[in-house]
């Protein structure tokens, strides 16, 4: 009996403590919101870094999965930043209303001596001042928890989509040449999606499927619900969710969460403002050489970014275009163009099966296994021939040393000279084969692009692998002469091959103006 009494006393004390804490929680809410807003605002550069890193380092399916992770970060950032700003504003308004109540107390509609029609309307619609304060208090208290619930909803949605795409990619990688296996993977993904849609319908209908009394239906849905809850990690915030939907006031916010999430995830892109309906499309202007875009020129881009403060530069950066000229205003007798080696360029080289890559694409276990390195066939054959010949000579030398015959010393010296000579010979052959391999890759890159200045072909003979300082974009930097250009405006035309669907290759071009001084 004593234990039960103690348990009840502890529960009563805990309940009273919670009641007192929730009355004083506004101070913690303001403090946490203030720090959180500052911290979240400062993470913009981290998200920008990660986004650029994703564009530069990850292509194909892996790029899609990492891109989804980037989207989670950006969506979560928007939800927290917008909601916490609103929370601080409303909580500040709440503090202001309480301060005003100390001076003015309740609203005295009768003292204003309005007409009866307006007095009755204001009493009914506006109500008492204390009710207004109470409504603000409710909204502020709920908004803090609502922010986390929205983010957790988005996180579960992205986890589900991540697993769905991963399932399809897994079957494609495990069985790349089996159409039946890929079809099975597609059917499994479709079934997986169907289960997710069923649980989503139950969620937005506030548990309509859970209310079905039929034992067979409830049993089947119970296991579907448990499975989706586990794989989306929604079981972690289930108490927060059900505490939200069991109250009529918070239930209204829950209904608003679905359109709000979709708006934050990209609905704002559905709206655009066009102040000048006579302004042509930028792609059309670039194809005609009728526009100057700062991001196609190193000098103009750097001037543009210098206008932003240090922290703002990184956030206002855009992904580097497919090409970037060294300068718009050319003063010297030569200039350069940077050609970004994007996934399209990689795909073009992959289509040539005679060219071997240096490493496998994607992730690899660098510290545990060393399987990512791939040798060129000619280089590999040369190394194999080297090892075979030198192994024979080294074994012959070992045999002479074992015999311990004084007469063999001359033969051993002769073999040492021969081994050193043949080693240099084979190293030169390996270096030559490696150089040819490097030249073939660069040549293949350059075969897919063409450069013209005023309709005159520019031969790109001096090209170097280059990591651009803009955001470490990898590519080729090619130099060309401009000493024959006359003073004034000229047009650089860049044409490249683009891999479309079904591996069809099409031409894409743009024209960039330059000014020769």
Per-residue pLDDT tens over the stretch 417-469: 888 998 899 899 888 888 888 888 899 999 999 999 998 999 888 899 999 98
Give the mean model confidence (pLDDT) for residues 295-307. 89
Q: Is residue 251 part of a domain?
A: yes
- Which pLDDT does position 435 carry in this prediction? 86
Least confident of 50-59, 71-80, 363-372: 363-372
Q: Do residues 261 and 328 both lie within one domain?
A: no
Same domain for 231 and 259, yes or no, is yes
15-51 residue pLDDT tens: 565 555 555 566 666 677 777 777 777 777 777 777 7
In the structure, what pLDDT confidence band is assigned to residue 2 with cuts at 50, 70 and 90? very low
Q: 369 pLDDT band (50/70/90 cuts)?
A: very low
Confidence of residue 513 (pLDDT cuts 50, 70, 90): very high
Flag whether pLDDT at 252 surpasses 70.
yes
User: 213 with 261, same domain?
Assistant: yes
| Domain that residue 175 falls in | 45-266
Q: Is the pLDDT of residue 10 over 70?
A: no
pLDDT(484) > 50 = yes
For residues 248 and 319, state if they share a domain.
no
Domain boundary, last residue among 429, 447, 465: 447
CA–CA dist 46, 70 (Å, integer): 11
Token reading at 124: 């009914």
437 and 328 co-located in one domain: yes
- Does residue 142 sit within a domain? yes
Q: What is the pLDDT of residues 134-193, one digit of tens each?
A: 888 888 878 878 888 888 888 888 888 888 888 887 777 777 667 777 778 788 888 889
Maximum alpha-carbon separation in the chain: 132
The answer, yes or no, to whether residue 68 has pLDDT greater than 90, is: no
Distance (Å, whole) CA 207 – CA 213: 12
Q: Say which DSSP state 517 is in.
A: -
On whether residue 71 sits in a domain, the answer given is yes
Token pair, residue 50, equals 């990660």
Tell me what the mean pLDDT of segment 58-62 comes to.
Answer: 64
Asked if residue 141 and residue 172 are part of one domain, the reply reads yes
pLDDT given at position 512: 94
In a domain, 206, yes or no: yes
Q: In this predicted structure, what is the pLDDT of residue 343?
A: 84
Residue 28 falls inside a structural domain: no
Res. 124 pLDDT band, cuts 50 70 90: confident
Total structural domains within the chain = 2
Residues 262 and 292 in one domain: no
Establish if 456 belongs to a structural domain. no
What gap in Å lies between CA 159 and CA 312, rounded to an integer?
31
Spatial contact of 98 and 112, defined as CB atoms under 8 Å apart: no
Mean pLDDT of the chain: 81
Q: Which helix (H) or strand (E) holds 495?
A: strand 488-499
Question: Are 255 and 373 members of one domain?
Answer: no
């Amino acid at each position: 009996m004593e234990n039960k009494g103690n348990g009840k006393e502890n529960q009563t004390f805990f309940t009273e403590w919670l009641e007192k804490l929730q009355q004083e929680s506004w101070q913690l809410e303001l403090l946490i919101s203030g720090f959180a807003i500052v911290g979240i605002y400062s993470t913009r550069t981290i998200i920008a870094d990660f986004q650029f890193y994703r564009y530069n380092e990850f292509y194909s399916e892996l790029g899609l999965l990492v891109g989804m992770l980037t989207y989670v970060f950006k969506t979560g950032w928007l939800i927290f930043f917008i909601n916490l700003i609103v929370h601080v504003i409303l909580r500040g308004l709440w503090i202001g209303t309480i301060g005003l109540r100390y001076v003015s107390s309740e609203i005295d509609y009768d003292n204003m001596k309005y007409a009866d029609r307006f007095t009755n309307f204001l009493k009914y619609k506006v109500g008492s001042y204390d009710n207004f304060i109470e409504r603000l208090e409710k909204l502020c208290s709920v908004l803090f928890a609502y922010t986390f619930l929205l983010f957790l909803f988005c996180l579960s949605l992205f986890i589900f989509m991540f697993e769905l795409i991963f399932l399809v990619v897994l079957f494609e990688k495990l069985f790349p040449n089996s159409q039946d296996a890929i079809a099975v993977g597609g059917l499994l993904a479709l079934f997986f999606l169907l289960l997710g849609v069923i649980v989503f319908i139950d969620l937005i209908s506030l548990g309509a499927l859970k209310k079905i009394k039929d034992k067979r239906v409830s049993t089947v849905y119970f296991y579907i619900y448990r499975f989706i809850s586990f794989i989306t990690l929604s079981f972690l915030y289930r108490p927060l969710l059900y505490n939200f939907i069991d109250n009529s006031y918070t239930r209204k916010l829950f209904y608003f969460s679905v359109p709000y999430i979709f708006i934050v995830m990209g609905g704002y892109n559905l709206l655009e403002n066009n102040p000048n309906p006579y302004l042509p499309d930028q792609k059309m202007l670039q194809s005609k050489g009728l526009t100057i875009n700062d991001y196609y020129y190193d000098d103009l881009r750097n001037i543009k970014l210098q206008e932003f403060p240090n922290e703002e530069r990184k956030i206002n950066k855009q992904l580097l275009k497919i090409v970037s000229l060294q300068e718009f205003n050319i003063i010297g007798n030569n200039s350069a163009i940077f050609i970004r080696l994007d996934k399209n360029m990689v795909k073009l080289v992959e289509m040539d099966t005679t060219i071997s890559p240096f490493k496998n694409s994607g992730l690899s276990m660098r510290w545990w296994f060393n399987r990512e390195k791939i040798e060129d066939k000619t280089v590999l054959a040369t190394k194999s021939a080297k090892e075979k010949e030198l192994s024979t000579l080294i074994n012959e030398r070992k045999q002479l040393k074992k015999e311990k015959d004084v007469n063999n010393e001359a033969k051993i010296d002769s073999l040492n000279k021969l081994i050193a000579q043949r080693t240099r010979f084979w190293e030169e052959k390996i270096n030559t084969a490696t150089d040819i391999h490097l030249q073939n890759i660069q040549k293949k890159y350059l075969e897919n692009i063409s450069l013209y200045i005023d309709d005159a072909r520019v031969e790109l003979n001096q090209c170097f692998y280059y990591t651009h300082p803009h955001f470490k974009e990898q590519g080729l930097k090619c130099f060309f002469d401009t000493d024959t250009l006359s003073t004034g405006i000229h047009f650089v035309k860049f044409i490249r091959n683009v891999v479309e669907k079904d591996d069809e290759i099409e031409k894409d071009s743009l024209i960039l103006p330059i000014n020769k001084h």
